[in-house]
Amino acid sequence: MNNGWLGMAHTLKNDQRPRIAPDRLGWRLHEWMKLTGTSRPTLWRQVKLGDLKLVYVGHTPMVPRSEAIRLGLIDS
């Protein structure tokens, strides 16, 4: 896995990172991009490479809570 994809959030200290609500079940893509500081092309590149998993709720792609846990953004 390429941890560099986290963009700005990856380089910030823990107290400077955006707060991610640990009780959320998932995030819409625009929310995830804002929280992690990634661009849309980077997000889709990571999905294509298999570094980020998405789930679909109807026609809406979302990043599931399990991905935030796997990437170390929240505790389980």
Domain map (residue ranges) of the chain: 3-70
Residue-wise pLDDT tens digits, 40-68: 999 999 999 999 999 999 999 999 999 99
Pick the CATH number of 3-70 from 1.10.10, 2.30.30, 2.60.40, 1.10.760: 1.10.10
Q: How far apart are CA 34 and CA 49, in angstroms?
A: 21
Q: In this predicted structure, what is the pLDDT of residue 6?
A: 55
Q: Reduced to 3 states, what is the DSSP secondary structure of residue 32?
A: helix
DSSP H helices in the chain: 8-11, 29-36, 40-49, 65-70
pTM summary value: 0.73
Reply yes or no on whether the pLDDT at 14 is more than 80.
Answer: no
Which of 4 and 63 is assigned the larger pLDDT?
Answer: 63
Mean pLDDT of the chain: 83
- DSSP secondary structure code for residue 3 in this structure: G
